[in-house]
Structure 1
């Protein structure tokens, strides 16, 4: 649409989504000389307008300074604002987070395309500039890389244009409006527009100029658009380069084009001269011969340098364009990259920074791409909008497969309270929404089409189905037949099943996926979202990754999601914390649902990543007593860039260590013998650890980075830990066991161990080891854990809440004791208010070596809900702030999230065992605990040892009940204790989704049987 004036009614007119905007084009760079192009420095024909702008904020349109764009309007007294940046994160308006519901739900009775006039803040921006030297006689354009959600532009008082799509560029021609000297640029940004109905993503609702803004000029002949397509022959060996150019400019008629292709080292592979220009178009079709292929494993990039000359032969422009030779195609209903079946080990990624929101920086992106690569992910879905162009360049360079998703989500128009209810769904089959939706598709494809990392175009997210989205998919296939098309929403509307080339579902259970794959489907399967990583999650992920080898048509998935969307805020005492929805007074809100990341908002890797990295390994190691089997699941890369590091550990202590050079080809396996000499080993529990680590630093990691790991645990003879009790007892049998039975208490003394049991309280109340008290509050049976986000999604508080009360008030109904020469044993029997038929017994045995053995037994009955945990918990002094354990680790792990953990001696500060999830919840558990030492900073303390079998252990500054009743970390009490919870078993954390998916049955704890565990407390 063309217009010479601005009309505020465009905001609510679905047929107007751009005015005077330039057509979308490729995101290539261009330079004046070859030297500039090779250096890839900042473009001299761009002029950055980022920085400080003058700013006015109005709460609604009728309060805005309507004439602010005029030349005689003074902005004196206006505030300053930073561009790029969100208005709401710079002190203006309401910060709000919602997920599926529209942000005005319950506040305005609206149906699309109507807008809430009382909730449509306006930001008025002013920036002045002088043209750079040499630009005065050239055309000048402006590019807004991202403005949310609609904006008007004026220059020197004259209307320039209007745009709506928040996540693709809007360019305008400024040439007719320029003047000598100072130029006044005015931009009016509205938070709500018809586009807002299409941008109902699960994220914070911001507005403003949040991506780069720059001016640019072009030479007399300029390549406006580049399209690069590579083809491979049937052997995937020889490549063909196809380049299509669109030229413009006053000298385009006589222009000449030449090109050269260079390899990754900068060597010229081939030159192309005399490329004919006809009517502003030029094309190149050349067979290159044998080429190095691009893949995520080996992201080999060529570069084609395109030279543009005028009729006189003067070089006017050089365009360097990265080229990756690769083919992505469907073969026999299976997706293939360069002829090999692909499995996406992916993650969904929002652009996010806890201080800048979606205005992410280059540093953010570099950290992200390296972290993703370091943790064995090979794919990213740009949920749910096109990202900054730099992100795709990094994915090309570092090697990540990309699903590029257009800016479309209308979740709230068809899903209400979790139910599918599409009575007023948009876009659906509504023809009036066709053009605005199609425009977003075209803008994405035209900008991003040359990135080899992009394998799939996505028609958006969670917008149900219908004819409009089907037509978008047909556009993708026509405009770019080299890529496939994704859309999950056909699952809800099968009328246009051909919209998506693959079956894509969200949060389907493993059994559901298998049911689909066993039914002879017509399409391969991916989970575009799975493993909802909210809070303490990712449990049971192995059930999905195990499908990769079982079903060829199962081709992986994308974890939801990469980073917590939390924003720094100060509490009432001025201390910063990471806030979630509702913390800013935002209503409606979906509260902490923004915390779904495997990376915390402050870009610290979460404990969940341990499991992700292991289960996403392309190379798998299977050690045993003699060696290690190495299975290289890579499609193209061998293992030559890694060295094999192996070690043998006894009871956590290293016995031997070595390295080997091993080169296993892609899609191959081998067995490597290791010099372990197992038969000569002393008795004990051993672990063979094997790892592949980088021999040298790469773009994405430093030398020594571990990329694959495998461990084998075995017992040789009688374990030292198994014989500790006997040995210690033999050494201390001379210690007399002294028992003093009083009216209320029973005291037991063995050497430096003093124990006091209370008949009144029915438990151990004091344990002094070498004169130091270890019991601050006595041990009691525990059957409750602080609910995780997943637990809350399954309404565990309602379904299993009786165990909460049972844990608060167990009643001791009996005790009995017996004394023998070498031990004193007392057993307490408890009843629980959950059922008269449940019986819990805790027996303490004080032995002659001064150790205290604890035996916990639970006998259940039918009809009770599953147990969250079977444990014994007590408090000790907060001075015991250090914990070291021989257990699975190093990060927290649970029954269904321990595949990535390894047995070893790990240590931590007690305070650091509490994971910084946005909402306090169960965290810090370790499975497979052989022993743990709790010490103060002088090294004094006590030791907990497993007895019959390894136990689970949580050492925390807080009880389960304190964590349960806090919504933020700042609500937790000051630390007064170290809380020790020893468990025979804790249920898994789950993760199929966070709104109703139960923990898988094998990781639950039935309450109708008998459970028991044992452990020992002894002095260090």
Structure 2
């Protein structure tokens, strides 16, 4: 509870009392910034009425309260033994304890048996000291001390005087310190505890850290002061006019007379409307606005409201600038609508994270994230699972992102256990926890209520259900009817379904389950608050979800889990620095690598998954054919006139024509554009590739940035030039068959089951070992979670332990057959020299319905490591799989072999390419070995490591030194899946049926 009068001293029992969560803390208010006058308010500078206390503080930590330097807050305390710490920042990342990663389980699980709400005995405490002199600009005013975020509970003293106590790690705590200030140097002391009753409400899937994690500041509140501001834009039903409603709470000296002037400026800076009102303690006034420019993620028009508070003489005492976005978000006809139009969330879940600073992210970090989202076609963010810093919402307002703002509440470990005991669920129906939970909702809403980007308030995450959460949802609606309410947990507890969430929200429901819901004539629209779990090589089958948004109106999108991998830089076993995950810091219990499930790495490098997501989230669809392109504009509000169409015609991967056209397709409309293309009569494969690109520089991307892409591929058949025949010589020995075409020589060995040598005219050897049939890939994170080894381990043995069953020499080659352990059928591989010196290789698996699905079928070809680059004609440029190729495009691509191993935190299958027509391996001297598809494209893997080396490595640093290049040619490989990472296999269309026959047919050609 919040008390009006402070107790005489701090009390450690508060840490274990869920009904005490704020002592001396001021009520939550909006995040507006106060300036001394209008000119400074409009200048775009930091307010001179704010003084930052960030920087280097004195610090010492202890393992428990009993070991802390009690009384350290007193001015006369000897702090000579204190060290220093950076604020903001986590104490565990600055040498005080270690970070701990757990997902569902509480961090003390198995160490201490605690009652609900009880603070753990092992409770690291950080003692912070900072001296400051009050800035002159703040002198003479009421002075407020603000902590933007402290994990998880803290006590505050100023000049030895107790100021207050607070919990809730991710919203501001404000304290009035006016009466505690002294002239000259002031002594601020803060005692931060890692564990508290509040920690029971913060069981999010993240690293457990503690400390002063967000900025600290002092600010001046003049006696005549705008304490709180709530701006809403009440739009007419035709959206052609609006009432700008201002609800304000003012501090007014007794009997003071004052006026409030309100001026609204349009996005171009022109004045729209202005009015002056007599000031009062509580105000509810409105300004009429004609023809407002509406705010959306597509067109984030922001107005600027300037409020000036003037005293009885007309002098400005205070000025407040406030951005305003005119928009209406509502549920109508069973659909969520923005400005009257059905919205589809193309979203992502985002944690605050930096690999060195943890959750202490900077504005620069946040801006990088927002620009990344915009460049890659995201339009929405869920702040999983706590409110972000205010600056993040301002960036979303400015650049255009829809936000689900989530209350700092997760109690996963109280109910998601094997022996579920609903009597232990928090908050459930527990009256004693209701005030603390509602306090967290209040802290979030009151701070963030003026941000147009926030469309939905969320009641937290994975806290089961119950009346307390339903009460929170009711409070959200009563306080702010302009937004909707979200809570996924109603799926587990339907007692308060109608109250707790305005939408049906589920995690990791399979596409079929989502469609079943949509076909059931539901009363609520559907949102996937977490889907396509992005752990490792994942996000396969994502199109099965996004397709539903086009087929069902009530499917209104979703939010990928998750944005950034949570890994910290730290020392590896060899002494070098690298990214480490759960368990690497000695933290137990832990959930190990489960913290690494993002579409960007911890150090913000893009993974290949982004290629697919950007394509599936694009705001326009391009459907080319041989004559032009059909353009479907899926934007709700903006035409495509700010973009241009860039197109190119390729023949066999080489550009033969290109052009540029203006486009202007209205929102939610379509058009077909015929293109001036040359006749395509010559035999070959053609690809018309079209992209929409930015015409001008945008705030988030340069001119020329690609927004959307589509391609059409067709083939014109014709007579192919006849190869020049080369005479073959053949030498059959006791164990080997040698065949030469005069330029190259191949040695086939009956003992080792394939060619043991392939040498060109210069004597360069291309084979390190014979090609071998393979059925196995290095398991992905999704594979491991689905029990890959247990279900498909037969094929690991088949790849390692197959034996040669027979061989037969032919005039121009040799046939091999291999026996598969546990299988009744056999693999055949034949090699035939053709007239022009190419070797036709055909590998065939007849299928066996008695065996499980093979992960893949093909040939693994070890080559010398000197062949360290490859070029191919197929789908790229990033790795792609059968169920993740919508973002890939046909082309000729080249890269180093070493760079084809995607740096997932656990080595796994990576670097695959589908739709490959040909591929070449080459060395620094230009020696080239070419693989050509015969009947149909193949899949290609190129790596310095075998599948088994990748599988055996727990970390990238476990991989051996690269001493070969492994080329894997595949008829097919199963998809990577991504519905979840703990049981879901790829969808049936992207699996290989157990009895399915597969044939790989390629030509191997030495290139001169």
TM score, norm. by length of structure 2: 0.98
CA distance in 1, matches of 2:629, 2:21: 60
Q: Greater CA deviation, 860-869 or 652-661?
A: 860-869
CA distance in 2, matches of 1:423, 1:989: 39
CA distance in 1, matches of 2:850, 2:766: 38
CA distance in 2, matches of 1:579, 1:550: 42
Alignment of 1:72-221 (within 5 A): 72-117=76-121, 119-221=122-224
CA distance in 1, matches of 2:742, 2:137: 92
The size of the alignment, in residue pairs, is 1001
CA distance in 2, matches of 1:852, 1:84: 65
Match of 1:1000 in 2: 987
Alignment of 1:559-578 (within 5 A): 559-578=560-579
Q: Secondary structure at the match of 1:68?
A: coil
Match of 1:940 in 2: 927
Deviation at 1:251, TM superposition (A): 7.0
Match of 2:820 in 1: 832
Q: Greater CA deviation, 243-252 or 757-766?
A: 243-252
Match of 1:301 in 2: 302
CA distance in 2, matches of 1:357, 1:799: 38
Alignment of 1:504-519 (within 5 A): 504-519=505-520
CA distance in 2, matches of 1:613, 1:854: 37
CA distance in 1, matches of 2:896, 2:373: 27
CA displacement, residues 924-969 of structure 1 (integer Å, 9 cap, x when unaligned): 0000001112122333221111111000001111110010011110
Match of 1:874 in 2: 861
Match of 1:747 in 2: 738
Match of 2:1003 in 1: 1016
Q: Secondary structure at the match of 2:138?
A: coil
Match of 1:458 in 2: 458
1:394 aligns with 2:395: yes
CA contact (8 A) 1:220 1:252 kept: no
1:488 aligns with 2:488: yes
Q: Secondary structure at the match of 2:111?
A: coil
CA distance in 2, matches of 1:219, 1:1009: 78
Match of 2:756 in 1: 765
1:953 aligns with 2:957: no
Alignment of 1:442-453 (within 5 A): 442-453=442-453
Q: Secondary structure at the match of 1:123?
A: strand
Deviation at 1:421, TM superposition (A): 4.8
Match of 1:891 among 868, 874, 878: 878
1:58 aligns with 2:49: no
Q: Secondary structure at the match of 1:708?
A: strand
CA distance in 1, matches of 2:365, 2:615: 24
Moved segments of 4+, more than 6 Å: none
Match of 1:277 in 2: 279
Q: Greater CA deviation, 826-835 or 929-938?
A: 929-938
Match of 1:611 in 2: 612
CA contact (8 A) 1:276 1:282 kept: no
CA contact (8 A) 2:24 2:175 kept: yes
CA contact (8 A) 2:36 2:318 kept: yes
Q: Greater CA deviation, 108-117 or 915-924?
A: 108-117
Match of 1:791 among 779, 783, 788: 783
Match of 2:18 among 6, 14, 23: 14
CA displacement, residues 377-410 of structure 1 (integer Å, 9 cap, x when unaligned): 1000000000000000000000000000000000
Match of 1:432 in 2: 432
TM score, norm. by length of structure 1: 0.97
CA distance in 1, matches of 2:694, 2:22: 50
Match of 1:815 in 2: 807
Match of 2:259 in 1: 256
Match of 1:348 in 2: 349
Match of 2:912 among 925, 929, 943: 925
CA contact (8 A) 1:45 1:216 kept: yes
Match of 2:472 in 1: 472
Q: Greater CA deviation, 1006-1015 or 170-179?
A: 1006-1015
1:598 aligns with 2:599: yes
CA contact (8 A) 1:914 1:924 kept: yes
Deviation at 1:906, TM superposition (A): 1.2
Q: Secondary structure at the match of 1:635?
A: coil
CA contact (8 A) 2:912 2:939 kept: yes
Match of 1:803 in 2: 795
Q: Secondary structure at the match of 1:773?
A: coil
Which runs of 5 or more residues in structure 2 are unaligned?
Answer: none
Instruction: Supply the RMSD in Å over aligned alpha carbons.
Output: 1.2
1:320 aligns with 2:321: yes
Match of 1:969 in 2: 956
Alignment of 1:639-678 (within 5 A): 639-678=640-679
Deviation at 1:139, TM superposition (A): 1.5
Deviation at 1:849, TM superposition (A): 2.0
CA distance in 2, matches of 1:342, 1:939: 54
CA distance in 1, matches of 2:994, 2:647: 42
CA distance in 2, matches of 1:585, 1:834: 42
Q: Secondary structure at the match of 1:272?
A: strand
CA distance in 2, matches of 1:287, 1:217: 32
Match of 1:983 in 2: 970
Deviation at 1:246, TM superposition (A): 1.2
Q: Secondary structure at the match of 1:938?
A: coil
Alignment of 1:413-432 (within 5 A): 413-417=414-418, 421-432=421-432
CA distance in 2, matches of 1:262, 1:488: 39
1:779 aligns with 2:766: no
Q: Secondary structure at the match of 1:871?
A: strand
Match of 1:842 in 2: 829
CA distance in 2, matches of 1:440, 1:686: 59
CA distance in 2, matches of 1:455, 1:94: 37
CA contact (8 A) 1:276 1:283 kept: no
CA contact (8 A) 2:929 2:1005 kept: yes
CA displacement, residues 212-264 of structure 1 (integer Å, 9 cap, x when unaligned): 00111122311111100001111122111001111115478322110100011
CA distance in 2, matches of 1:766, 1:51: 65
CA distance in 1, matches of 2:234, 2:796: 63
CA distance in 1, matches of 2:760, 2:413: 61
Match of 1:692 in 2: 692
CA contact (8 A) 1:345 1:378 kept: yes
CA distance in 2, matches of 1:615, 1:662: 21
Alignment of 1:704-719 (within 5 A): 704-718=704-718
Q: Greater CA deviation, 402-411 or 810-819?
A: 810-819
CA contact (8 A) 1:753 1:769 kept: yes
CA distance in 2, matches of 1:865, 1:259: 72
Q: Secondary structure at the match of 1:833?
A: coil
Deviation at 1:423, TM superposition (A): 3.6
Match of 1:241 in 2: 244
Deviation at 1:777, TM superposition (A): 2.1
Q: Secondary structure at the match of 1:814?
A: strand
Q: Secondary structure at the match of 2:825?
A: strand
Which runs of 5 or more residues in structure 1 are unaligned?
Answer: none
CA contact (8 A) 1:251 1:311 kept: no
